[in-house]
Structure 1
Amino acid sequence: MREVLDRWKAAVDDHDPARVAALFTEDAIFQGLHPYSVGRRGVADYYDSQPPGMTAEYRVLETRRPADGLVLGYLDVGFSFTDRPTLDVKLAVLVRRAGDDWRIAHYQVSRLT
């Protein structure tokens, strides 16, 4: 899980929406703080709409393995901006094995603190 999340963080920090989207499955369910989407195009569009300079810091709170090739994670994430306070959110992700790699199949943000 940390490997895919470290790559997600690096792509978010670099403001590279295509690289972020490539970390998701083709049919990923994605729920940021805007209406949900399904698939990589929606992920890329969402991150393209984020302001340059936004960065992410995460801390894994819990993980579970509901089945072979699946890891469920619950995280604290802080999105930092150049012009406003950090936005602290909870993030639930389901990461799925895809060959020798892992991809995010489900991503849901909540403003719960």
Structure 2
Amino acid sequence: MNHKAENEAILRGVLDRWQTALDAHEPEQVAANFTADAIFQGLHPYTIGPEGVAEYYASQPLGMTAVYRILETRRLADDLVLGYLTVDFSFTDKPTISVYLSVLVTDWANGGRITHYQVSKLD
């Protein structure tokens, strides 16, 4: 497997779990995809660790779903993959929000965990 395909498989492993838990509005399961010291920056002030991630997603409206598309990947170290994505967050009662997302994923021997999550909204 080439690095791009391997990197995408690593990212999809953790991002598919993140997406499934987010779509089901299961904040604790979303947070389980993050390392204990993860830096998390959604569209609110940043937080550190899974507890803050769970609080962030618990505050999101029921019915919110996400669809992601990987744009770029880079292997930054033997145990660290960068993913640059677009994500469309859809809601039942307001327009879809499209963002760019950068993630750093580590610990893929144990299924992968996000150690850095940074959302950018450009418009």
TM bracket (short chain): over 0.9
Cα distance in 1 between the residues matched to 2:96 and 2:26: 20
1:88 match: 98
Cα distance in 1 between the residues matched to 2:84 and 2:109: 24
User: Which structure features the higher share of strand residues?
Assistant: 1
Contact 2:34 2:50 in 1 (8 A): yes
Cα distance in 2 between the residues matched to 1:98 and 1:4: 8
Question: Per-residue deviation at 1:98?
Answer: 5.4
Task: Spell out structure 1 runs of 4+ moving beyond 4 A.
Answer: none
Name which of 4, 8, 17 aligns with 2:18.
Answer: 8
Question: Which amino acid in 2 is paired with 1:21?
Answer: A
TM-score by length of 2: 0.89
Question: Per-residue deviation at 1:112?
Answer: 1.9
Identical columns (%):
65
TM-score by length of 1: 0.97
Contact 2:70 2:85 in 1 (8 A): yes
Cα distance in 1 between the residues matched to 2:110 and 2:45: 31
User: Which structure features the higher share of helix residues?
Assistant: 2
Name which of 33, 38, 42 aligns with 2:43.
Answer: 33
Name which of 107, 110, 113 aligns with 2:120.
Answer: 110
What do you get for the CA RMSD once the two structures are aligned?
Answer: 1.0
Of stretches 96-105 and 57-66 in structure 1, the one that deviates more from structure 2 is 96-105
Cα distance in 2 between the residues matched to 1:100 and 1:3: 11
1:74 match: 84
Cα distance in 1 between the residues matched to 2:98 and 2:109: 33
Q: Is there any run of 5+ residues in structure 2 with no aligned partner, and where?
A: 1-10
Matching of residue 57 in structure 1 with residue 72 in structure 2: no
Question: Per-residue deviation at 1:97?
Answer: 1.4
